[in-house]
Amino acid sequence: MSRPLIMVAPNGARRGKADHTALPVTTAEIVETAAACHAAGAHALHLHVRDAEGAHSLDAGRYRETLAELGLRIPDMKLQITTEAAGRFTVPEQLACLRQVRPAWASISVREIAREPALAADVYATCADNGTQVQHILYEVADIQQLIDWRARGVVRPDQESVLFVLGRYREGQVSSPADLAPLREALPGIGQWMVCAFGPREHECLVDAASQGGDVRVGFENSLSGANGQPHADNAASVGTLVRSLLDQPPHAQDTFAERKPS
C-alpha cells in the first residue's frame, strides 16, 4: 500500500485537560506537542488555538503567533488552521479569520459554510486570492452533495478539491468502523486528494484501511484519546508513533516511501 501523509490533530475545539492531561492548550504546549509528533512521524499539523480561558478560538492574532512559533521550531512541518465554528462562531467570523490570517492551508466545513450560502463564494474566493489551500470537511453524503453543487456552480474552484472524510462524531461511546468510509467515497468517486479521520477507539484501524485505499490520514486527540484496547495513549506523539508502526507493518509498493508529499 502507498505511504500516506500523516496529519496530527492534537486538541480540537471541545476537549481539554479534564479529558487528558497531555492535551495541548497553550501555544507553548501546542508547539512542544507538534515537535514531538513530527519526530514520531507526523508530516502535518491541524491547528486549533485557544483563548485565555482555554476555549476554542478563531482569533487571528493567536493564529499568527502560533504559526510563527511553529514555523521557527518545526520548519519542515506543514501547517493547517481550522475554521471550525464549533457552535461558537458565525460564517462572517470564519471568513474574517481567513482574510486576516491568510494561512497557507485551511480546513473548511462544508456544512458550516452552508449556514450562510450567500457567503460561500466569498469564502472560497478569499482562499483562492490569498493562495490558501482548502481542505473541505465532509461528515456525510449530504455534505458531499452540497460540495458537488458548489463545484458545478463555480462557487468552489476547480483546484479546491482536497477533502477530509470524517468517520463518526463527538458522541458518548462512539466507535467508528472502516466500513463507514465506503458511502462517502462512493458519493465522491474519482477524488484525487482525500484524507480520513475517525472518532473512537478503532481510529487507527480506520486510518490503516484508508491508507490501503490510497488516502492520507489524520490522527490525534481531537478524534481519539485511546487505542483499540481502551487504554489512553500517553500523548499525541505516542498515538502517532503507534499509527506509523501499524502503517509500516502493511506491505508497501516497492516505489513508495514516507518521502515529502504534497498536502492533501
Give one DSSP letter per residue of 124-187, joined into a string. HHHHHHHT-EEEEEE-SHHHHHHHHHHHHTTSS-TT---EEEEES-S-TT----GGGGHHHHHH
The reply to whether 255 falls in a domain is no
Q: Are 8 and 37 contacting, i.e. CB atoms less than 8 angstroms apart?
A: yes
Q: What residues pair up with 195 in beta bridges, in sequence order?
A: 164, 216
Q: Are 10 and 240 contacting, i.e. CB atoms less than 8 angstroms apart?
A: no
The reply to whether 260 falls in a domain is no
The reply to whether 145 falls in a domain is yes
The reply to whether 253 falls in a domain is no
Domain that holds residue 65: 6-248
The reply to whether 258 falls in a domain is no
The reply to whether 78 falls in a domain is yes
Based on the structure, what is the number of domains in the chain? 1
HSE, CB side, 13 Å, CA atoms: give it for residue 32: 9
Q: What residues pair up with 135 in beta bridges, in sequence order?
A: 107
**What CATH number is attached to the domain comprising 228?**
3.20.20.70
pLDDT in tens, the chain (264 residues): 568 999 999 999 999 999 999 999 999 999 999 999 999 999 999 999 999 999 999 999 999 999 999 999 999 999 999 999 999 999 999 999 999 999 999 999 999 999 999 999 999 999 999 999 999 999 999 999 999 999 999 999 999 999 999 998 766 777 889 999 999 999 999 898 999 999 999 999 999 999 999 999 999 999 999 999 999 999 999 999 999 999 998 765 433 333 344 444
Q: Are 32 and 8 contacting, i.e. CB atoms less than 8 angstroms apart?
A: no
The reply to whether 228 falls in a domain is yes
